Amino acid sequence: MSKSRRKQKAKSMAGKNKLSAGKLNSRRGSPVWRFNYFRSVVLTSLLNDLYNLEQTGIEDKHCKKIAASLTYFSNAATDIPSAGPFMGPLYKDIEKFIELYQAWNDIKGRDLEEAASRRELRIKLMAQRQTITNKARKLQFAIQENVDTQLMKSGFDALSELITAVPDLLGNLGKALGEFAKRGGIP
């Protein structure tokens, strides 16, 4: 093989090992994969736990920790540009999810009326999670280039600390975070 042919082959192989500009990296462990895991698995698992806790709610000290960890994810998304002039930024949708979650937990009491109010808010939370998902699907390249991975890691760490402190409270979320760690989601 000629020298120029070897150089050309070496360049070709190097290009295959790197992601070219404009190519989406959604492989396991990538920032896009981690963000997608947050929106599709972590938020869904939290909603499943809220369903299980509709009768009782969550103690304020735990609620504040959940809201704080969700805020890390919102902050991680602040540099992601909006999907267009009529679609606001993604972090605003995550902030709306946090507000709805806090309203869910602000309902005190264990009777049927309070449980029904929490159920109504859980349904709104489900719709808001879907809003986040729909927008994130359109912003995969922007997420890849702009999401703050350190803040995302802090959010996952905060949720993991809560699960460690009260493992029986949020069983679905605990399983989701365990699976996240097993799949190599924690850098």
pLDDT tens for residues 155-172? Answer: 999 999 999 999 899 999
Calculate what percentage of the chain has a pLDDT beyond 90: 79
Residue 17 counted as domain residue:
no
Q: Where in the sequence is the domain holding 101, given as residue range(s)?
A: 38-182
HSE-CB of 135 using CA atoms within 13 angstroms: 23
Q: Say yes or no to pLDDT of 30 above 60.
A: yes
pLDDT top residue among 11 and 145: 145
Residue 77 counted as domain residue:
yes
Q: What confidence tens digit (pLDDT) does each residue in 105-139 have?
A: 999 999 999 999 999 999 999 999 999 999 999 99
Cα 70–chain centre separation: 8
Residue 162 counted as domain residue:
yes
Residue 78 counted as domain residue:
yes
Residue 31 counted as domain residue:
no
Into how many domains does the chain fold?
A: 1
Contact 79, 145 (CB under 8 A): no
Average pLDDT, the chain: 88
- What pTM does this model have? 0.84
Mean pLDDT (whole number) for 78-102:
91
Mean pLDDT (whole number) for 56-61:
92
